[in-house]
């Protein structure tokens, strides 16, 4: 039921956005390129072409940016990468850093 009464806020409401974190996959000499592509598709929901480009970045520059997320999501993605790699016998690592 509309009362027709309007309220005015004394102070403006300030919205504070959560910090964002970049998630990187790190290069190593043992993890196969195919496995890295699979991780990028399954964990980070990249297309095959995007995954291949990121994998090549990892290979050439020692790390590749997988995405930017809130802290909790970034942390989860890092843990997923490490667990899937360990379960498959690869030493692949992922890290996160504040944007």
Helix (H, G, I), strand (E, B) or coil at 66: strand
Give buried/exposed letters for 47-86 (b at 16+ CB in 10 A, else e).
eeeebbebbebbeeeebbebbebeeebbeebbeebeebbe
Confidence tier at 8 by pLDDT (50, 70, 90): low
Burial label for 40, CB within 10 Å (0-12, 13-18, 19+), is buried
Architecture of the domain defined by 20-98: 2-Layer Sandwich (3.30)
| Length in residues, the chain | 99
Confidence tier at 42 by pLDDT (50, 70, 90): very high
Cα-only R_g, the chain:
20
User: Across residues 47-66, what is the average pLDDT?
Assistant: 97
């Amino acid at each position: 039921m509309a009362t027709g009464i309007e309220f005015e806020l004394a102070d403006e409401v300030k919205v504070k956005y959560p910090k964002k974190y970049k998630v990187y996959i790190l290069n190593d000499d043992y993890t196969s390129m195919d496995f890295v592509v699979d991780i990028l598709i399954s964990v980070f929901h990249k297309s095959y072409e995007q995954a291949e480009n990121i994998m090549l970045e990892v290979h050439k520059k020692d790390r590749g940016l997988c995405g930017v997320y809130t802290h909790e999501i970034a942390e989860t993605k890092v843990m997923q990468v490490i667990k899937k790699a360990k379960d498959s016998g690869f030493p692949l690592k992922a890290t996160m850093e504040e944007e």
